[in-house]
Structure 1
Amino acid sequence: MRKNPAEHYQTADADKVPVASKLIYAQGHLLSVIGNHVVMEMAGIILNVNLFVRPSLVGLAGTIFRLWSAFADPVVGNLSDNSRSTYGRRRPFIVLGALLCGFTFPLIWQVRREWGEFQVFSYFLVSSLIFYTAYAIFSVPYNTLAMEMSPDYHEKTRIMAWREMVGKTSFILVGWLFFFTESFKDPVSGMRWVSLGLAVLFIASGVLPGLFIKERFYKAASRQKKIPLRESLKATLSSGSFRMVMGMVVLTLIGSWSANYFGRYINIYYIFEGDTHAASVIEGWMRTAEMGAAVASIPMFTWLSRRFGKLSALKVNAGIVVFAALSRFVLVNPAHPWGMVANAALTGPGGTGVWIILGSLVADICDEDELKTGCRREGSYTSVLQLAITLGFSIAYLLSNIVLEQTGFDARLGSAQSASALTLMRGIYILLPPIAMIGMFWIISRYQLDEARCHAIRLELEQRRGKL
């Protein structure tokens, strides 16, 4: 770790983004986060627990529509990079995508109890494909816009921190959706009403960045040639630094999201023996505690990044993930249900720093790419990063549901789950995150794009094409 703060480069006033602009931009992360997670989060509850669709089919549907989204992302990213509209490269896509997300999200939850398993599966799959097409139109340009708000090494991290603060707060809402649906006489019908409220939120929050945030790099980018999709993808994937970031993303998702997916079933069937209402209350408080701790940790990670460097902050984040996972040996106990809430609070910071720092690293990589190619291609990098995120989610989701079924779990048994199934689920919940973090530490140790190198790249770029 670097110990002398004077060694760090200071952010110029011209590179600082006003707090109001950061906050307006961050509001779009409500749609970005909730839209990305809520379908996967609630599919198990609505389709498996309530409609008895097999976990393997739920996992297959999730894998198919997320893979569709993964391959739609680079197309949208390339279209956005090559756009030359009067309103910018990103903003028109953001507004259009937010509107489409709001209109299509409620369609997913129009499933009926009287339908057969294959009919529920087919409808859920097709409607989700429509929604995630709209989501790609919004999310790729939205996440790209963050990389274009400032050229400064540390200001990029601060922008990501504001975005993450709103994103983690929105996760509290996601955590209480289970409880909200259980508050209705029929949770399946309840999810239909909840989806309408979320649709309004998607539109209200999603259009704000598209209407009010300026694209700082647009003039410079508008003078560059348009790049074909295949050529852009080839150049993006040729970056060794970017491939390392994608590896860290996949390990994070497999290690944390897969474990958390099993955590929901642990909560319902191990802690509360099939009592979904009691489990929904604890889950709501779990997510509240987790995200409260996550938001509280954001200043710590921005300070660690500023004081010791982004890679050191990532190492601290990985260490927190390992500690929180191993604490489940003690805290996950049916005799003390609130131990799940305590563990969630320990987990929160470990799911925060990684997304602040990784987003900032990709912004640095875009500068390195401009130095090599002469083009600003934030859309391509964002879309391929989202492809990696989506692939990570898809792999985690499919494997989680297949493994869940292979443990012997059967939702129709309710509280009568076998002891072996519960033991296997608990083991995965505890041990998977530390295993994934071993790979994370290895990648961090090999990453080379540090603060000094990024500053040198910026100076060379400004000598070549002037300041942006």
Structure 2
Amino acid sequence: MSTHVTPLKDKVPLAQKAAFGAGHLVNNLLPGSLGVFAFFLLTAFGMDPFLAGLLGGLPRFFDAITDPIMGYISDNTKSRFGRRKPYIFIGAILSGILFAVLWQLSPDNSQMYNFWYFLILSMVYLIGNTMFSTPLIGLGYEMTFDYNERTRLMGFSQTIGQMAWMIVPWFWVIIANPDLFSTQAVGVRNLSIVVGAICMFLGMMPALFCKEIDQTNLTNRDELTLKNIARNFRSLLHNMVLIFKNMTFVRLCAATFLVFNGFQMVASFSYFIIVFYLFKGDYGLAGTWPAWFSTVSAMCTAFIIIPVITWMANRWGKRRAFIYSTFLSIIGYALKWWGFNPENPWLMFMPLPLMVFGIGGLFTLMMSMTADVCDLDELNNGMPRKEGTFGAIYWWMVKLGQGLALVLGGLVLKLVGFDQNAAQQTADTITNLRLADILVPATTAALAIWVMWKYDLSEERAMEIKKELVNRRGEL
């Protein structure tokens, strides 16, 4: 049980936590909206399914390249405005504008025109979004050096970020509502402008109100010039090698990969089970039940699970909090077998408070632990601090796994015998679908517990590292 009291200088004021949380709301709202809007590439703009798949997959490879580069640039930037905030400010503006421009498609255009328009604009949009999101993650790692305050900061920001997932499921309903928009294409174009404007405004909040680390004690940073571009690239590769040699960090990445992508692999299955099992394939009867399922999940995560996880971590340590919360999520997954009941659809909400312990605890704890790992890296490898690069590689692993999960999710659907053209699914298909919906995330969660069982960066060790770094830097 922790008895540590956070020093006043290490506490993050509420206003800064809220501003940082606003950034996380944008970080969730943009990809969440992108996922919903992408569906309408097929129905509203007549895109061929194969081409739509390419539009979903090809930009991910580009994103995987830009993230580490932006992390390295952010770590080594020297500016009177800070290392992170100038990029966050400009990136927020670019992200909001480019997201809106990205969706100004017309079904009257040729299919190949829309394909190339969307593909090229996606690459440009991702540059702006990477400029925003990668420094934002790095900023969170350095806003406090206190072991427990890091968890409180990440918990608070994740709570605000979850609000995006309460909103996004309703975009399906809004865009397809003929009383609001004459066509789905009009709905996508107009709603994208609203989403872009909101994200632009909220995304600037961390740049305006959050405080960065004092740059006085940051030494050994690389000179970012065109003349040094070859040397900078070698330095980036060297930093990435050092990071991947950090087995404590590798455990965090592996556990995240398992929990998040096990969940993502079957994320759409609940929708299919609600429609085809609870309501016998009748989309009219299913109505807004799937949207409510997602919204209630996010509400449970934001207002129940994340505060509980934060309390658990500060009381018992982050490793034990992760193991306990992940185990509870396995119980929640198992309860879905009884929760999805055609006789009483309301029971679908019964497993949610336990099930969302996995995802609810994951990023709160992992982002807090990654901040601890940044201290460990400075202890072992010296300056410069690499919060931006650590954050970029961590989220690169998440995105890579997410792409893999989407592919494997489709494969699992095929293996269970799901027929997308059938009005109703066979009894065997429904049974296999329900089993996969439970067994896949439960198995990956159990493997994540195994990975984290020997995680060794405890609160006591983190305090020792912090003390050593303060002495090394000559700080008071």
Once the two structures are TM-superposed, the CA of residue 332 in structure 1 deviates from its matched residue by: 1.7
Select the residue among 48, 57, 74 that pairs with 1:80. 74
5+ residue gaps, structure 2: 224-231
Distance 1:70 1:286, change over 3 A: same
Q: AA paired with 2:61?
A: L
Select the residue among 232, 239, 243 that pairs with 1:232. 239
Q: How does 1:314-393 map to 2 (within 5 A)?
A: 314-375=322-383, 376-393=385-402
Report what 1:203 is aligned to.
200
Distance 1:404 1:384, change over 3 A: same
Once the two structures are TM-superposed, the CA of residue 123 in structure 1 deviates from its matched residue by: 4.9
Once the two structures are TM-superposed, the CA of residue 217 in structure 1 deviates from its matched residue by: 3.8
Distance 1:453 1:56, change over 3 A: farther
Q: AA paired with 1:353?
A: G
Distance 1:327 1:462, change over 3 A: same
Report what 2:253 is aligned to.
246
Q: AA paired with 1:392?
A: G
Provide TM-score, normalisation by structure 2: 0.89
Report what 1:150 is aligned to.
144
Which range moved further: 306-315 or 58-67? 58-67
Q: Contact 1:290 / 1:346 at 8 angstroms: preserved in 2?
A: no
For the residue of structure 2 that corresponds to 1:260, the secondary structure is coil
Q: Contact 2:15 / 2:209 at 8 angstroms: preserved in 1?
A: no
Which range moved further: 385-394 or 287-296? 287-296
Report what 1:262 is aligned to.
269
Report what 1:164 is aligned to.
158
Q: Contact 1:101 / 1:135 at 8 angstroms: preserved in 2?
A: yes
RMSD, matched Cα: 2.5
Q: How does 1:281-296 map to 2 (within 5 A)?
A: 281-295=288-302, 296=304
Once the two structures are TM-superposed, the CA of residue 56 in structure 1 deviates from its matched residue by: 6.3
Q: Distance in 1 between matches of 2:351 and 2:48?
A: 29
Once the two structures are TM-superposed, the CA of residue 74 in structure 1 deviates from its matched residue by: 0.1
Q: Contact 1:292 / 1:345 at 8 angstroms: preserved in 2?
A: no
Once the two structures are TM-superposed, the CA of residue 202 in structure 1 deviates from its matched residue by: 0.6
Select the residue among 442, 447, 451 that pairs with 1:434. 442
Distance 1:324 1:435, change over 3 A: same
Which range moved further: 421-430 or 371-380? 421-430
Select the residue among 19, 35, 38 that pairs with 2:14. 19
Q: Contact 2:330 / 2:446 at 8 angstroms: preserved in 1?
A: no
Provide TM-score, normalisation by structure 1: 0.90
Distance 1:255 1:118, change over 3 A: farther
Q: Distance in 2 between matches of 1:380 and 1:323?
A: 35
Q: Distance in 1 between matches of 2:393 and 2:105?
A: 32
Q: Distance in 1 between matches of 2:238 and 2:361?
A: 33
Identity %: 30
Distance 1:133 1:447, change over 3 A: same
Q: Distance in 2 between matches of 1:186 and 1:100?
A: 28
Query: Are 1:174 and 2:168 matched, yes or no?
Result: yes
Q: Contact 1:62 / 1:125 at 8 angstroms: preserved in 2?
A: no
Query: Are 1:394 and 2:389 matched, yes or no?
Result: no
Query: Are 1:94 and 2:88 matched, yes or no?
Result: yes
Q: Distance in 1 between matches of 2:448 and 2:347?
A: 27
Q: Distance in 2 between matches of 1:336 and 1:257?
A: 26
Once the two structures are TM-superposed, the CA of residue 24 in structure 1 deviates from its matched residue by: 1.5
Report what 2:226 is aligned to.
none
Once the two structures are TM-superposed, the CA of residue 208 in structure 1 deviates from its matched residue by: 0.8
Q: Contact 2:134 / 2:391 at 8 angstroms: preserved in 1?
A: yes
5+ residue gaps, structure 1: none
Once the two structures are TM-superposed, the CA of residue 221 in structure 1 deviates from its matched residue by: 2.1
